Amino acid sequence: MGWLQWFNCSRNLPNNLEFGTFLIGAICIFEVLWHNRNKVIHGTISTPINEVIGIVRRKFQDHSYASQPLPKSAEICITPPTGWIACHTDVSIDADQSYGAAVFRDSSNRIQAVFSIHLNVTNPTLAEALTIVSAAEFGVRRTFTNVIFLCDNSLVVSYFNALQREDHQLLNGAVERFYAAVPNLVNWKVKKISRGVNFLAHNSAKWARYHGSVGELAVSNMDVGVFRDDTEWVPDPG
């Protein structure tokens, strides 16, 4: 009996653990360990174990969301009103860096621009906040007027919208930059979006990380599978 068949037998798995969930966890663990192994072999500093565990957890959540059907409660209208631009934002985090992406599309769901940034941070909340900031600054440069910034991080959305903010050392600088940029827009909003319908931005950030691309991205050079709202993009191994 091969190892797949052995683990596929329910009596060999812990209670309430499906085989698919087990495989997702195994894939995430091996991917992160292999990446860390390569860093050590090539003479760079090994990632601390607590950070490795955090990376594995984030990857597991990403893959788990992608493998689950979209619940009806998460189905929202992601098409902006006439005259507005929807700016989908998200990040893709690696062991020692992250990439953020902002995808701008109009009321006809036509993509107007895709922008990515490289960040030397691995904290998801800070990375998502800085991505919104960069999206706002890019939107101003592109002379967009009415922009809805969409983010799937509840803390970031709440903090950016708070009329009276408590001191938050992690996000204070990002919020100051954001509010310095948005007066150059005519109208703007920051809204929460379900992760289940925000893969357009997550896939773009993942693509940017995979290719090491920053700045305004040429849509024609990107895999068509990136531009889906409810499906995670998986790089072609070939």
Give which of 16, 25, 150 is closest to 77, Cα–Cα: 150
Q: Average per-residue pLDDT in the chain?
A: 84
For the domain 73-227, what is the CATH superfamily, name and number? Ribonuclease H-like superfamily/Ribonuclease H (3.30.420.10)
Give pLDDT, residue 2. 66
Average pLDDT over residues 212-230: 93
Residue 83: pLDDT band (50, 70, 90) is: very high
User: Tens digit of pLDDT for each residue in 146-156?
Assistant: 999 999 998 89
pLDDT for res 74: 40
Which residues of the chain are in CATH 3.30.420.10 domains? 73-227
What pLDDT shows up at residue 107?
94
Sequence-distant (6+) residues with CB within 8 A of 233 are 199, 203, 206, 207, 223, 225, 226
Q: How many of the other CB atoms lie within 10 Å of CB of 176?
A: 11
Tokens of 221: 């050079």
pLDDT exceeds cutoff 70 at 1? no
pLDDT band of residue 76 (cuts 50, 70, 90) is very low
pLDDT for position 61:
66
pLDDT value at position 151?
A: 95
Q: What is the pLDDT of residues 163-174, one digit of tens each?
A: 666 666 788 899
Q: How far is CA 43 from the centre of its chain?
A: 29
Residue 210 pLDDT: 93
Question: CB–CB of 86/148 below 8 Å?
Answer: yes
Q: What is the pLDDT of residues 18-72, one digit of tens each?
A: 767 777 777 778 777 777 777 777 777 777 777 777 777 766 766 555 455 444 4
* For the chain, percent of residues with pLDDT exceeding 90: 50
User: Do 14 and 22 form a contact (C-beta atoms < 8 A)?
Assistant: no
Is 86's pLDDT higher than 80? Answer: yes
Gap between the Cα atoms of 40 and 46, Å rounded: 6
Q: Report, as an integer, the average pLDDT of 137-160.
A: 95
Residue 233 has pLDDT above 80, yes or no: yes
